[in-house]
């Protein structure tokens, strides 16, 4: 069973992620978009979206450091375990909380603003369920596992992270995950489920680097107003 969960399932998800993106690009190039709903509602989006996206940038950065940088490297440059732990927990909590609050605002908006709800697909709902579960389980690991050490001391840098690197190097060691606490195992599985869904959702927009966006001119929208010069221009991100 360990090989099934920690070798077969993760590689199947990875393969679906890679092949799915190639398929989507070839067959649905023009559907490769965020499917922005900014024209329907702007106030909640302006709050929820940056909170979620900047929070997720921090979460991704934290994962790159926590999963990809071996403990021996931070030891070698003299970062002691306690300092590492405090920085990781505080940074992880701030980033995770921003992502969580942002996501709650975005889901609330999607449910309560009529046109946004109408533009929500079943795939969006599945995606939000996986994303929400991944973030909630990740926060659970940080709070219950790393801060309160419920269920005993566990250093993910010697278990989960080593497994993740062995997985990326195509020499997976399933026993490392089999020994991890349940919260960490569930978190990793839900995250891999999300990776498998990724190419079939609006999350593909992550890979269309909006570099031209930084320099492109504003698109000006004006509301209808009979009196000349009275309408207020605004520029949505499309």
User: Which residues make up the interface to ligand HEM (CB under 6 A)?
Assistant: 59, 62-63, 66-67, 88-89, 92, 95-96, 99, 134-135, 138-139, 141-142, 145-146, 156, 160, 164, 184, 187-188, 191, 194
Smallest separation (angstroms) from ligand HEM to the CB of 234: 31
- Residue 164 or 196: which CB sits closer to ligand HEM? 164
158-167: burial string, b at 16+ Cβ within 10 Å, e else: ebbbbbbbbb
- Residue 110 or 154: which CB sits closer to ligand HEM? 154
Smallest separation (angstroms) from ligand HEM to the CB of 147: 8
- Residue 145 or 172: which CB sits closer to ligand HEM? 145
User: Is residue 106 classed as helix, strand or coil in its secondary structure?
Assistant: helix
Sequence-ordered list of residues with C-beta below 8 angstroms from that of 57, at least 6 positions apart, any chain: 95
DSSP code at position 119? T
Q: Which residue is nearest to ligand HEM (CB)?
A: 138
Smallest separation (angstroms) from ligand HEM to the CB of 144: 9
Task: Give the position of tokens 């009529």.
Answer: 114
* Token couple for 129: 């369920």
Closest by CA to 138, choosing from 193, 97, 106, 199, is: 97
- Residue 16 or 141: which CB sits closer to ligand HEM? 141
* Token couple for 147: 């801060």
Backbone angles phi, psi at 17, to 5 degrees: -60, -50
- Residue 83 or 219: which CB sits closer to ligand HEM? 83
Smallest separation (angstroms) from ligand HEM to the CB of 16: 14
């Amino acid at each position: 069973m360990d090989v099934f969960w920690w070798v077969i399932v993760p590689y199947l998800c990875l393969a679906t992620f890679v092949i799915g993106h190639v398929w989507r690009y070839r067959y649905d190039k023009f559907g490769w978009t965020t499917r922005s709903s900014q024209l329907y509602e702007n106030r909640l989006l302006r709050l929820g979206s940056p909170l979620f996206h900047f929070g997720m940038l921090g979460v991704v950065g934290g994962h790159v450091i926590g999963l990809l940088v071996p403990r021996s490297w931070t030891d070698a440059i003299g970062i002691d375990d306690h300092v590492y732990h405090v920085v990781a927990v505080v940074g992880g909590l701030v980033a995770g909380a921003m992502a969580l609050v942002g996501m709650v605002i975005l889901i609330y908006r999607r449910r309560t603003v009529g046109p946004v709800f109408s533009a929500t697909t079943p795939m969006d709902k599945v995606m939000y369920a996986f994303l929400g579960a991944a973030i909630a389980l990740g926060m659970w690991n940080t709070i219950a596992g790393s801060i309160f050490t419920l269920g005993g001391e566990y250093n993910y840098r010697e278990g989960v992270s080593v497994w993740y690197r062995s997985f990326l190097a195509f020499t997976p060691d399933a026993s490392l995950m089999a020994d991890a606490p349940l919260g960490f195992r569930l978190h990793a599985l839900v995250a891999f489920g999300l990776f498998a869904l990724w190419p079939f959702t609006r999350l593909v927009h992550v890979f269309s680097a909006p570099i031209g966006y930084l320099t492109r001119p504003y698109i000006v929208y004006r509301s209808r107003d009979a009196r000349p010069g009275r309408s207020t221009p605004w520029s949505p991100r499309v």
